Chains A and B, each alone.
Chain A
Amino acid sequence: MSDVTKILDELAAGSVTSESLVIQCFQTIKSKNDDIFAFVRTYEDEAMAAAKASDARRNEGKPLSRIDGLPIAIKDNFSYQDHVTSSGSNILKNYEAPFDATVVAKLKEAGADIIGQTNMDEFAMGSSTENSAFGVTKNPFDATRVAGGSSGGAAAAVATDMAPLSFGSDTGGSIRQPAAFCGVVGLKPTYGAVSRYGLHALASSLDQIGPLASSVDGVEIGYEAIQGFDPLDSTSKKAESVPVKEHYTIGVPKQFMAEGTDSRILNALNKTLDKLEAAGHTIKRDIDLQILEQSVAIYYIILPAEASANLARYDGIRFGSHGNDVIDSRSQGFGPEVKRRIMLGTYALSAGYADKFYKRAQSARAKLTQELLEVLESVDVLIGPVVPELPFKIGAKQSDPLAMYLSDIYTIPVNLAGLPGLTMPVTTTEEDGVQLPIALQIIGRPWSEKQLFSVGRIIEHNKGAS
Protein backbone atom coordinates (compact mmCIF):
# COMPACT_ATOMS: atom_id res chain seq x y z
CA MET A 1 0.00 0.00 0.00
CA SER A 2 1.30 3.44 -0.83
CA ASP A 3 1.95 6.40 1.41
CA VAL A 4 -0.86 8.35 3.14
CA THR A 5 -0.46 11.49 0.99
CA LYS A 6 -0.59 9.50 -2.25
CA ILE A 7 -3.68 7.59 -1.06
CA LEU A 8 -5.42 10.84 -0.10
CA ASP A 9 -4.61 12.40 -3.46
CA GLU A 10 -6.04 9.35 -5.21
CA LEU A 11 -9.15 9.37 -3.02
CA ALA A 12 -9.67 13.07 -3.76
CA ALA A 13 -9.16 12.50 -7.49
CA GLY A 14 -11.55 9.55 -7.45
CA SER A 15 -8.96 7.14 -8.83
CA VAL A 16 -9.31 4.84 -5.83
CA THR A 17 -12.24 4.20 -3.50
CA SER A 18 -12.21 3.78 0.24
CA GLU A 19 -13.81 0.37 -0.32
CA SER A 20 -10.88 -0.79 -2.47
CA LEU A 21 -8.42 0.45 0.18
CA VAL A 22 -10.20 -1.47 2.92
CA ILE A 23 -10.28 -4.62 0.76
CA GLN A 24 -6.53 -4.23 0.19
CA CYS A 25 -5.84 -3.76 3.94
CA PHE A 26 -7.81 -6.90 4.82
CA GLN A 27 -6.09 -8.95 2.12
CA THR A 28 -2.78 -8.00 3.72
CA ILE A 29 -4.09 -8.59 7.24
CA LYS A 30 -5.30 -12.07 6.25
CA SER A 31 -1.98 -13.01 4.74
CA LYS A 32 0.31 -11.48 7.38
CA ASN A 33 -1.39 -10.98 10.73
CA ASP A 34 -1.14 -14.60 11.87
CA ASP A 35 2.65 -14.37 11.61
CA ILE A 36 3.23 -10.77 12.70
CA PHE A 37 0.32 -10.30 15.12
CA ALA A 38 0.03 -6.54 14.70
CA PHE A 39 -3.73 -6.53 15.32
CA VAL A 40 -5.51 -7.97 18.34
CA ARG A 41 -8.94 -7.29 16.82
CA THR A 42 -10.13 -6.29 13.34
CA TYR A 43 -13.55 -5.18 12.13
CA GLU A 44 -13.92 -6.07 8.47
CA ASP A 45 -17.70 -5.73 8.14
CA GLU A 46 -17.80 -2.42 10.00
CA ALA A 47 -14.84 -1.10 8.02
CA MET A 48 -16.45 -2.11 4.69
CA ALA A 49 -19.74 -0.43 5.63
CA ALA A 50 -17.93 2.74 6.72
CA ALA A 51 -15.89 2.72 3.49
CA LYS A 52 -19.04 2.52 1.35
CA ALA A 53 -20.58 5.42 3.28
CA SER A 54 -17.39 7.41 2.78
CA ASP A 55 -17.32 6.68 -0.96
CA ALA A 56 -20.94 7.87 -1.18
CA ARG A 57 -20.01 11.14 0.57
CA ARG A 58 -17.11 11.67 -1.82
CA ASN A 59 -19.34 10.94 -4.81
CA GLU A 60 -21.63 13.69 -3.63
CA GLY A 61 -18.65 15.98 -3.24
CA LYS A 62 -19.15 16.13 0.52
CA PRO A 63 -16.22 14.40 2.24
CA LEU A 64 -16.11 15.04 6.00
CA SER A 65 -12.41 15.91 5.82
CA ARG A 66 -9.29 15.23 3.83
CA ILE A 67 -8.87 11.84 5.54
CA ASP A 68 -12.47 10.74 4.95
CA GLY A 69 -12.34 7.06 3.98
CA LEU A 70 -8.71 6.50 4.98
CA PRO A 71 -8.21 3.11 6.69
CA ILE A 72 -6.55 3.58 10.08
CA ALA A 73 -5.58 1.47 13.09
CA ILE A 74 -5.81 2.45 16.75
CA LYS A 75 -3.89 1.06 19.72
CA ASP A 76 -5.79 -1.22 22.07
CA ASN A 77 -5.70 1.39 24.88
CA PHE A 78 -7.90 4.03 23.16
CA SER A 79 -11.48 3.77 24.46
CA TYR A 80 -13.50 2.70 21.41
CA GLN A 81 -17.22 2.88 22.10
CA ASP A 82 -19.08 -0.46 22.07
CA HIS A 83 -15.86 -2.34 21.27
CA VAL A 84 -13.62 -4.37 23.54
CA THR A 85 -10.71 -2.13 24.57
CA SER A 86 -8.27 -4.24 26.52
CA SER A 87 -4.88 -2.50 26.79
CA GLY A 88 -3.22 -5.85 26.09
CA SER A 89 -4.42 -7.08 29.48
CA ASN A 90 -6.36 -10.10 30.69
CA ILE A 91 -8.07 -7.92 33.28
CA LEU A 92 -9.79 -6.00 30.42
CA LYS A 93 -10.17 -8.83 27.90
CA ASN A 94 -13.98 -8.52 28.00
CA TYR A 95 -14.20 -4.79 28.77
CA GLU A 96 -16.40 -2.85 26.35
CA ALA A 97 -15.71 0.87 26.30
CA PRO A 98 -18.94 2.81 26.96
CA PHE A 99 -17.56 5.95 25.27
CA ASP A 100 -15.01 7.09 22.69
CA ALA A 101 -11.65 8.60 23.56
CA THR A 102 -11.47 12.17 22.21
CA VAL A 103 -8.91 11.03 19.63
CA VAL A 104 -11.24 8.25 18.43
CA ALA A 105 -14.18 10.68 18.29
CA LYS A 106 -12.11 13.15 16.25
CA LEU A 107 -11.00 10.45 13.81
CA LYS A 108 -14.57 9.18 13.38
CA GLU A 109 -15.88 12.72 12.84
CA ALA A 110 -13.24 13.19 10.15
CA GLY A 111 -14.56 10.04 8.42
CA ALA A 112 -11.43 7.93 9.01
CA ASP A 113 -12.18 4.22 8.88
CA ILE A 114 -11.04 2.23 11.93
CA ILE A 115 -10.07 -1.25 10.69
CA GLY A 116 -8.87 -2.65 14.00
CA GLN A 117 -6.99 -2.34 17.28
CA THR A 118 -3.28 -3.01 17.50
CA ASN A 119 -1.33 -5.12 19.95
CA MET A 120 0.64 -3.58 22.80
CA ASP A 121 2.52 -4.38 25.98
CA GLU A 122 0.02 -4.75 28.82
CA PHE A 123 -1.06 -1.24 29.92
CA ALA A 124 1.76 0.07 27.69
CA MET A 125 4.38 -1.25 30.11
CA GLY A 126 7.22 -2.53 28.00
CA SER A 127 9.60 -1.91 25.12
CA SER A 128 8.99 -5.07 23.08
CA THR A 129 5.24 -5.96 22.96
CA GLU A 130 6.24 -9.24 24.61
CA ASN A 131 4.14 -8.25 27.63
CA SER A 132 0.80 -8.44 25.80
CA ALA A 133 -1.61 -10.96 27.30
CA PHE A 134 -2.63 -11.93 23.76
CA GLY A 135 0.68 -12.73 22.07
CA VAL A 136 3.98 -11.24 20.89
CA THR A 137 4.12 -8.89 17.88
CA LYS A 138 6.99 -9.93 15.58
CA ASN A 139 9.38 -7.61 13.82
CA PRO A 140 8.43 -7.41 10.11
CA PHE A 141 12.13 -7.42 9.11
CA ASP A 142 12.90 -10.59 11.10
CA ALA A 143 10.21 -12.57 12.91
CA THR A 144 12.71 -13.80 15.54
CA ARG A 145 13.10 -10.21 16.77
CA VAL A 146 10.80 -7.89 18.69
CA ALA A 147 8.80 -5.13 16.98
CA GLY A 148 9.58 -2.80 19.89
CA GLY A 149 6.94 -1.45 22.22
CA SER A 150 4.71 -0.68 23.70
CA SER A 151 3.02 0.34 20.39
CA GLY A 152 4.62 -2.64 18.61
CA GLY A 153 1.40 -3.57 16.82
CA ALA A 154 0.87 0.01 15.60
CA ALA A 155 4.37 0.13 14.08
CA ALA A 156 4.23 -3.39 12.59
CA ALA A 157 0.80 -2.69 11.03
CA VAL A 158 2.24 0.27 9.10
CA ALA A 159 5.50 -1.51 8.22
CA THR A 160 3.62 -4.48 6.71
CA ASP A 161 1.05 -2.35 4.83
CA MET A 162 -1.83 -3.67 6.92
CA ALA A 163 -2.75 -0.01 7.56
CA PRO A 164 -1.32 3.17 6.03
CA LEU A 165 -1.73 5.20 9.23
CA SER A 166 -1.94 4.10 12.84
CA PHE A 167 -2.06 5.75 16.24
CA GLY A 168 -0.18 4.75 19.36
CA SER A 169 0.66 6.21 22.75
CA ASP A 170 4.10 7.18 24.03
CA THR A 171 4.99 7.42 27.72
CA GLY A 172 8.75 6.85 27.52
CA GLY A 173 9.29 5.99 23.85
CA SER A 174 6.34 3.70 23.11
CA ILE A 175 5.69 5.21 19.66
CA ARG A 176 9.24 6.18 18.72
CA GLN A 177 11.08 3.00 19.68
CA PRO A 178 8.78 0.55 17.82
CA ALA A 179 8.71 2.97 14.85
CA ALA A 180 12.53 2.78 14.83
CA PHE A 181 12.55 -1.03 15.14
CA CYS A 182 9.98 -1.43 12.33
CA GLY A 183 11.43 1.20 9.97
CA VAL A 184 8.50 3.65 10.02
CA VAL A 185 8.04 7.29 11.07
CA GLY A 186 6.51 8.11 14.47
CA LEU A 187 5.73 11.25 16.46
CA LYS A 188 5.43 11.84 20.21
CA PRO A 189 3.71 15.26 20.29
CA THR A 190 4.24 18.08 22.82
CA TYR A 191 2.67 17.19 26.17
CA GLY A 192 -0.84 18.66 26.14
CA ALA A 193 -1.13 18.87 22.32
CA VAL A 194 -3.33 15.78 21.97
CA SER A 195 -6.15 14.95 24.36
CA ARG A 196 -5.58 12.01 26.71
CA TYR A 197 -9.31 11.73 27.46
CA GLY A 198 -10.29 8.07 27.07
CA LEU A 199 -6.71 6.84 26.79
CA HIS A 200 -6.14 4.14 29.41
CA ALA A 201 -3.78 5.96 31.77
CA LEU A 202 -0.27 4.63 32.41
CA ALA A 203 1.63 7.66 33.77
CA SER A 204 -0.55 10.73 33.29
CA SER A 205 2.23 13.33 33.39
CA LEU A 206 4.07 11.52 30.57
CA ASP A 207 1.43 9.89 28.29
CA GLN A 208 0.76 11.33 24.82
CA ILE A 209 -1.02 9.91 21.78
CA GLY A 210 0.67 10.21 18.39
CA PRO A 211 0.66 8.93 14.79
CA LEU A 212 2.81 6.38 12.89
CA ALA A 213 3.07 6.22 9.08
CA SER A 214 5.58 5.41 6.36
CA SER A 215 6.53 9.05 5.73
CA VAL A 216 6.90 12.36 7.56
CA ASP A 217 3.99 13.77 5.51
CA GLY A 218 1.79 10.87 6.58
CA VAL A 219 2.63 11.45 10.24
CA GLU A 220 1.89 15.16 9.90
CA ILE A 221 -1.57 14.39 8.46
CA GLY A 222 -2.21 12.02 11.37
CA TYR A 223 -1.07 14.61 13.90
CA GLU A 224 -3.26 17.36 12.43
CA ALA A 225 -6.28 15.06 12.65
CA ILE A 226 -5.95 14.42 16.40
CA GLN A 227 -4.32 17.52 17.95
CA GLY A 228 -6.25 20.32 19.64
CA PHE A 229 -7.44 21.61 23.00
CA ASP A 230 -9.91 19.40 24.88
CA PRO A 231 -11.69 20.59 28.05
CA LEU A 232 -12.10 16.92 29.05
CA ASP A 233 -8.33 16.57 29.60
CA SER A 234 -7.09 18.78 32.43
CA THR A 235 -3.56 18.89 30.98
CA SER A 236 -4.71 19.71 27.44
CA LYS A 237 -3.30 23.00 26.16
CA LYS A 238 -4.14 25.48 23.41
CA ALA A 239 -1.70 25.04 20.54
CA GLU A 240 1.12 27.47 19.92
CA SER A 241 3.31 27.40 16.87
CA VAL A 242 7.04 27.60 16.29
CA PRO A 243 7.68 28.83 12.73
CA VAL A 244 9.41 26.70 10.13
CA LYS A 245 12.88 27.82 8.93
CA GLU A 246 15.00 27.30 5.86
CA HIS A 247 18.23 26.67 7.72
CA TYR A 248 18.37 24.98 11.07
CA THR A 249 20.84 24.94 13.92
CA ILE A 250 21.01 21.35 15.07
CA GLY A 251 22.46 20.31 18.41
CA VAL A 252 23.91 16.89 19.16
CA PRO A 253 24.27 16.17 22.88
CA LYS A 254 27.55 14.35 23.63
CA GLN A 255 25.55 11.99 25.83
CA PHE A 256 23.57 10.90 22.74
CA MET A 257 26.74 9.78 20.97
CA ALA A 258 28.15 7.86 23.91
CA GLU A 259 29.94 4.54 23.76
CA GLY A 260 27.61 1.67 24.40
CA THR A 261 25.40 2.64 21.47
CA ASP A 262 25.79 0.32 18.45
CA SER A 263 28.49 1.80 16.19
CA ARG A 264 26.34 1.18 13.10
CA ILE A 265 23.69 3.47 14.56
CA LEU A 266 26.26 6.16 15.41
CA ASN A 267 27.78 5.90 11.91
CA ALA A 268 24.37 6.31 10.24
CA LEU A 269 23.68 9.28 12.48
CA ASN A 270 27.02 10.93 11.65
CA LYS A 271 26.42 10.43 7.93
CA THR A 272 23.02 12.12 8.17
CA LEU A 273 24.50 15.01 10.16
CA ASP A 274 27.26 15.43 7.54
CA LYS A 275 24.64 15.60 4.80
CA LEU A 276 22.68 18.20 6.75
CA GLU A 277 25.84 20.24 7.22
CA ALA A 278 26.62 19.98 3.50
CA ALA A 279 23.09 21.20 2.78
CA GLY A 280 23.82 24.40 4.73
CA HIS A 281 22.52 23.60 8.22
CA THR A 282 24.64 24.32 11.29
CA ILE A 283 25.58 21.34 13.44
CA LYS A 284 26.68 21.91 17.04
CA ARG A 285 28.33 18.80 18.39
CA ASP A 286 29.50 20.20 21.70
CA ILE A 287 26.19 20.14 23.59
CA ASP A 288 26.84 18.78 27.08
CA LEU A 289 23.78 17.65 29.02
CA GLN A 290 25.06 15.42 31.81
CA ILE A 291 21.63 15.25 33.40
CA LEU A 292 20.50 13.05 30.49
CA GLU A 293 22.45 10.22 32.13
CA GLN A 294 19.95 10.32 35.01
CA SER A 295 16.89 9.94 32.74
CA VAL A 296 16.27 6.24 33.30
CA ALA A 297 16.56 6.53 37.09
CA ILE A 298 14.15 9.50 37.16
CA TYR A 299 11.69 7.81 34.83
CA TYR A 300 11.58 4.45 36.57
CA ILE A 301 10.60 6.18 39.81
CA ILE A 302 8.02 8.62 38.43
CA LEU A 303 6.41 6.21 35.97
CA PRO A 304 5.74 3.35 38.43
CA ALA A 305 4.58 5.86 41.07
CA GLU A 306 1.95 7.28 38.71
CA ALA A 307 1.10 3.85 37.29
CA SER A 308 0.51 2.33 40.73
CA ALA A 309 -1.97 5.13 41.47
CA ASN A 310 -3.67 4.90 38.03
CA LEU A 311 -4.01 1.13 38.21
CA ALA A 312 -5.59 1.22 41.67
CA ARG A 313 -8.91 1.61 39.79
CA TYR A 314 -8.78 -2.02 38.63
CA ASP A 315 -10.72 -3.62 41.43
CA GLY A 316 -12.82 -6.12 39.46
CA ILE A 317 -15.99 -4.45 40.73
CA ARG A 318 -16.91 -1.60 38.40
CA PHE A 319 -15.20 -3.09 35.36
CA GLY A 320 -12.60 -5.65 34.41
CA SER A 321 -12.46 -9.38 35.02
CA HIS A 322 -13.32 -10.33 38.59
CA GLY A 323 -12.10 -13.08 40.87
CA ASN A 324 -13.14 -13.91 44.43
CA ASP A 325 -12.27 -10.46 45.73
CA VAL A 326 -10.30 -7.34 44.80
CA ILE A 327 -6.89 -8.88 45.52
CA ASP A 328 -7.76 -12.04 43.60
CA SER A 329 -9.11 -10.02 40.62
CA ARG A 330 -5.87 -8.04 40.41
CA SER A 331 -3.55 -10.98 40.99
CA GLN A 332 -5.26 -13.07 38.28
CA GLY A 333 -5.80 -10.17 35.88
CA PHE A 334 -2.40 -8.45 35.78
CA GLY A 335 0.72 -9.88 34.12
CA PRO A 336 4.19 -9.89 35.75
CA GLU A 337 5.47 -6.56 34.37
CA VAL A 338 2.35 -4.74 35.57
CA LYS A 339 2.67 -6.27 39.05
CA ARG A 340 6.37 -5.37 39.11
CA ARG A 341 5.71 -1.72 38.28
CA ILE A 342 2.76 -1.38 40.66
CA MET A 343 4.97 -2.67 43.48
CA LEU A 344 7.89 -0.47 42.43
CA GLY A 345 5.63 2.60 42.43
CA THR A 346 4.11 1.63 45.75
CA TYR A 347 7.62 1.38 47.19
CA ALA A 348 8.70 4.77 45.76
CA LEU A 349 5.63 6.45 47.28
CA SER A 350 5.59 4.64 50.62
CA ALA A 351 6.28 6.26 53.97
CA GLY A 352 10.00 6.42 54.63
CA TYR A 353 11.00 6.15 50.97
CA ALA A 354 9.02 8.91 49.23
CA ASP A 355 11.66 11.56 50.06
CA LYS A 356 14.57 9.45 48.88
CA PHE A 357 12.88 8.28 45.68
CA TYR A 358 9.80 10.16 44.50
CA LYS A 359 10.64 13.69 45.66
CA ARG A 360 14.24 13.39 44.51
CA ALA A 361 13.04 12.18 41.09
CA GLN A 362 10.57 15.07 40.79
CA SER A 363 13.28 17.60 41.46
CA ALA A 364 15.68 15.88 39.02
CA ARG A 365 12.91 15.89 36.41
CA ALA A 366 12.48 19.65 36.89
CA LYS A 367 16.24 20.13 36.49
CA LEU A 368 16.34 18.01 33.32
CA THR A 369 13.42 19.95 31.84
CA GLN A 370 15.07 23.27 32.68
CA GLU A 371 18.38 22.25 31.07
CA LEU A 372 16.76 20.84 27.93
CA LEU A 373 14.66 24.00 27.45
CA GLU A 374 17.79 26.13 27.93
CA VAL A 375 19.70 24.19 25.27
CA LEU A 376 16.73 24.49 22.92
CA GLU A 377 17.11 28.29 23.16
CA SER A 378 20.52 28.02 21.49
CA VAL A 379 19.64 25.40 18.86
CA ASP A 380 16.42 24.73 16.94
CA VAL A 381 16.37 20.98 17.37
CA LEU A 382 18.43 18.17 18.87
CA ILE A 383 19.24 15.05 16.87
CA GLY A 384 20.31 11.70 18.27
CA PRO A 385 19.62 7.98 18.18
CA VAL A 386 16.25 6.51 19.18
CA VAL A 387 17.52 3.30 20.75
CA PRO A 388 21.12 2.30 21.59
CA GLU A 389 20.73 -0.99 19.72
CA LEU A 390 19.17 -2.78 16.76
CA PRO A 391 15.90 -4.71 17.25
CA PHE A 392 16.75 -7.43 19.76
CA LYS A 393 15.74 -11.09 19.76
CA ILE A 394 12.41 -12.14 21.26
CA GLY A 395 13.03 -13.30 24.84
CA ALA A 396 16.50 -11.74 25.09
CA LYS A 397 15.59 -9.32 27.91
CA GLN A 398 12.57 -10.96 29.49
CA SER A 399 14.39 -12.04 32.65
CA ASP A 400 16.25 -8.75 33.16
CA PRO A 401 13.81 -5.82 33.46
CA LEU A 402 16.59 -3.31 34.24
CA ALA A 403 18.35 -4.13 30.92
CA MET A 404 15.00 -3.58 29.15
CA TYR A 405 14.50 -0.23 30.93
CA LEU A 406 18.02 1.00 30.04
CA SER A 407 17.25 0.69 26.31
CA ASP A 408 14.78 3.60 26.74
CA ILE A 409 17.60 6.05 27.59
CA TYR A 410 17.23 8.25 24.47
CA THR A 411 13.44 8.43 24.32
CA ILE A 412 12.65 8.99 28.01
CA PRO A 413 14.03 12.57 28.38
CA VAL A 414 11.54 13.79 25.75
CA ASN A 415 8.57 12.63 27.85
CA LEU A 416 10.06 13.84 31.13
CA ALA A 417 10.42 17.36 29.65
CA GLY A 418 7.11 17.32 27.72
CA LEU A 419 8.86 17.92 24.38
CA PRO A 420 7.88 16.67 20.91
CA GLY A 421 10.04 13.96 19.32
CA LEU A 422 9.97 12.61 15.77
CA THR A 423 11.68 9.38 14.76
CA MET A 424 12.36 8.28 11.21
CA PRO A 425 14.31 5.54 9.48
CA VAL A 426 17.55 6.64 7.75
CA THR A 427 19.12 3.41 6.52
CA THR A 428 19.32 -0.34 7.06
CA THR A 429 22.17 -2.60 8.10
CA GLU A 430 22.71 -6.31 7.72
CA GLU A 431 22.83 -8.60 10.73
CA ASP A 432 22.60 -12.41 10.63
CA GLY A 433 21.64 -12.25 6.97
CA VAL A 434 18.69 -9.84 7.38
CA GLN A 435 18.44 -6.12 6.78
CA LEU A 436 17.41 -4.22 9.92
CA PRO A 437 16.32 -0.57 10.05
CA ILE A 438 18.29 2.24 11.72
CA ALA A 439 16.45 5.38 12.77
CA LEU A 440 17.19 8.78 14.25
CA GLN A 441 15.26 11.08 16.54
CA ILE A 442 14.61 14.81 16.16
CA ILE A 443 13.66 16.64 19.36
CA GLY A 444 12.32 20.19 19.52
CA ARG A 445 11.02 22.74 21.99
CA PRO A 446 7.35 22.58 22.97
CA TRP A 447 4.99 23.15 19.99
CA SER A 448 7.76 22.79 17.40
CA GLU A 449 6.07 19.88 15.58
CA LYS A 450 6.09 21.81 12.28
CA GLN A 451 9.84 22.30 12.61
CA LEU A 452 10.33 18.60 13.30
CA PHE A 453 8.34 17.72 10.18
CA SER A 454 10.35 20.25 8.17
CA VAL A 455 13.71 18.85 9.38
CA GLY A 456 12.37 15.34 8.82
CA ARG A 457 11.47 16.14 5.22
CA ILE A 458 14.93 17.60 4.63
CA ILE A 459 16.44 14.33 5.89
CA GLU A 460 14.04 12.29 3.70
CA HIS A 461 15.13 14.33 0.65
CA ASN A 462 18.82 13.97 1.41
CA LYS A 463 18.64 10.25 2.17
CA GLY A 464 19.81 9.20 -1.27
CA ALA A 465 22.51 11.89 -1.58
CA SER A 466 26.02 11.11 -0.39
Chain B
Amino acid sequence: MNSLSPEEIGHLATLSRLSLTEEESTHFAEQLGSILEYASHLPEMDVTPDPSHLRVEEDIAQPCDNPHDLLRNAIALENGYVKVPAILDKSES
Protein backbone atom coordinates (compact mmCIF):
# COMPACT_ATOMS: atom_id res chain seq x y z
CA MET B 1 0.00 0.00 0.00
CA ASN B 2 1.69 3.19 -1.13
CA SER B 3 -1.08 5.65 -1.58
CA LEU B 4 -4.78 5.49 -0.73
CA SER B 5 -7.16 5.81 -3.68
CA PRO B 6 -9.28 8.95 -4.12
CA GLU B 7 -12.34 6.79 -3.30
CA GLU B 8 -10.77 5.56 -0.04
CA ILE B 9 -9.84 9.10 0.99
CA GLY B 10 -13.34 10.31 0.15
CA HIS B 11 -14.93 7.53 2.19
CA LEU B 12 -12.63 8.19 5.17
CA ALA B 13 -13.42 11.91 5.04
CA THR B 14 -17.14 11.14 5.13
CA LEU B 15 -16.72 8.81 8.12
CA SER B 16 -14.54 11.46 9.82
CA ARG B 17 -17.10 14.21 9.13
CA LEU B 18 -14.59 16.28 7.20
CA SER B 19 -14.67 17.79 3.74
CA LEU B 20 -11.27 18.03 2.10
CA THR B 21 -9.93 20.31 -0.57
CA GLU B 22 -8.45 18.66 -3.64
CA GLU B 23 -4.97 19.54 -2.39
CA GLU B 24 -5.64 18.02 1.05
CA SER B 25 -7.00 14.84 -0.57
CA THR B 26 -3.86 14.42 -2.65
CA HIS B 27 -1.51 15.00 0.28
CA PHE B 28 -3.45 12.83 2.73
CA ALA B 29 -3.70 9.96 0.22
CA GLU B 30 0.10 9.82 0.06
CA GLN B 31 0.86 10.56 3.72
CA LEU B 32 -1.76 8.20 5.17
CA GLY B 33 -0.63 5.54 2.70
CA SER B 34 2.97 5.67 3.90
CA ILE B 35 2.02 5.74 7.60
CA LEU B 36 -0.37 2.78 7.18
CA GLU B 37 2.26 0.93 5.16
CA TYR B 38 4.70 1.39 8.07
CA ALA B 39 2.10 0.31 10.66
CA SER B 40 0.96 -2.70 8.62
CA HIS B 41 4.24 -4.49 9.35
CA LEU B 42 3.33 -4.84 13.02
CA PRO B 43 3.52 -8.57 13.75
CA GLU B 44 0.72 -10.45 15.51
CA MET B 45 1.46 -11.09 19.21
CA ASP B 46 0.17 -13.85 21.43
CA VAL B 47 -0.85 -11.53 24.29
CA THR B 48 -4.40 -10.57 25.17
CA PRO B 49 -4.83 -7.03 26.53
CA ASP B 50 -6.03 -6.98 30.14
CA PRO B 51 -8.51 -4.18 30.76
CA SER B 52 -8.88 -5.05 34.48
CA HIS B 53 -6.97 -1.93 35.54
CA LEU B 54 -9.79 0.24 34.25
CA ARG B 55 -12.09 1.35 37.04
CA VAL B 56 -15.72 1.60 36.10
CA GLU B 57 -17.58 4.04 38.32
CA GLU B 58 -21.26 3.78 38.96
CA ASP B 59 -23.07 6.46 37.03
CA ILE B 60 -24.66 8.60 39.71
CA ALA B 61 -26.43 11.86 38.89
CA GLN B 62 -25.28 14.78 41.03
CA PRO B 63 -26.47 18.36 41.21
CA CYS B 64 -24.63 20.78 38.95
CA ASP B 65 -23.76 24.23 40.30
CA ASN B 66 -23.76 25.98 36.96
CA PRO B 67 -25.88 24.21 34.33
CA HIS B 68 -26.39 27.41 32.31
CA ASP B 69 -22.73 28.21 32.50
CA LEU B 70 -21.89 24.86 30.91
CA LEU B 71 -23.86 25.91 27.84
CA ARG B 72 -22.20 29.31 27.48
CA ASN B 73 -20.22 28.19 24.43
CA ALA B 74 -23.19 26.70 22.56
CA ILE B 75 -24.16 27.94 19.10
CA ALA B 76 -27.62 29.15 20.25
CA LEU B 77 -29.87 28.62 23.26
CA GLU B 78 -33.62 28.65 23.73
CA ASN B 79 -35.28 28.05 27.10
CA GLY B 80 -32.12 26.46 28.44
CA TYR B 81 -31.80 24.09 25.49
CA VAL B 82 -29.24 24.10 22.71
CA LYS B 83 -30.95 25.20 19.52
CA VAL B 84 -29.86 23.50 16.31
CA PRO B 85 -31.14 23.62 12.74
CA ALA B 86 -33.83 21.06 11.90
CA ILE B 87 -32.44 17.87 10.43
CA LEU B 88 -35.76 16.19 9.58
CA ASP B 89 -38.48 17.47 7.27
CA LYS B 90 -42.00 17.64 8.69
CA SER B 91 -43.05 15.26 5.93
CA GLU B 92 -40.66 12.60 7.27
CA SER B 93 -41.87 12.74 10.88
Contact = CB atoms under 8 A, between A and B. Distances in A.
Q: Which of A315, A326, A331, A361 has the most CB of B within 10 A?
A: A331
Interface stretch (A42-50, A278-286, A341-349): A341-349
Given A318-B73, A339-B28, A234 B54 contact: yes
A14 interface: no
Contact of B44 (A301, A317, A328, A363): A363
Interface residues of A, number: 56
Contacts of B61: none
Interface residues of B, number: 45
Interface stretch (A143-151, A156-164, A239-247, A364-372): A364-372
A300 B35 contact: yes
Interface string A285-321: 0000000001011101100000010001001111110
A134 interface: no
A350 B36 CA distance: 13
Contact of B18 (A234, A330, A362): A330
29 contacts: A94-B73, A96-B72, A98-B69, A234-B57, A294-B43, A296-B38, A297-B41, A300-B35, A318-B75, A319-B73, A319-B74, A327-B17, A327-B18, A330-B17, A334-B18, A339-B16, A342-B18, A343-B13, A343-B16, A347-B32, A348-B39, A357-B36, A357-B39, A360-B44, A362-B49, A366-B48, A367-B46, A367-B47, A402-B35
A28 B88 CA distance: 56
A234 B53 CA distance: 10
A395 interface: no
Contacts of A357: 36, 39-40, 42
Contact of A300 (B39, B55, B74): B39
A340 B42 contact: no
A328 B19 contact: yes
Contacts of B57: 231, 234
A235 interface: yes
A331 B31 CA distance: 18
B29 to A, nearest CB: 10
A231 B56 CA distance: 11
A248 interface: no
Nearest to B57: A234
B18 A318 contact: no
Contact of A401 (B13, B35, B46): B35
A234 B75 contact: no
A297 B45 contact: no
B22 interface: no
Contacts of B79: none
A343 B12 contact: yes
B82 A297 contact: no
Contacts of A95: 73
B72 A366 contact: no
A375 B39 CA distance: 25
A366 B49 contact: yes
A98 B70 contact: yes
A319 B50 CA distance: 35
A336 B1 CA distance: 22
Interface in A225-259: 231, 234-237
A95 B71 CA distance: 11
7 shortest interchain CB distances as A-B pairs: A319-B73, A367-B47, A366-B49, A367-B45, A366-B47, A297-B42, A363-B45
Nearest to B54: A235
B72 A317 contact: no
B3 interface: no
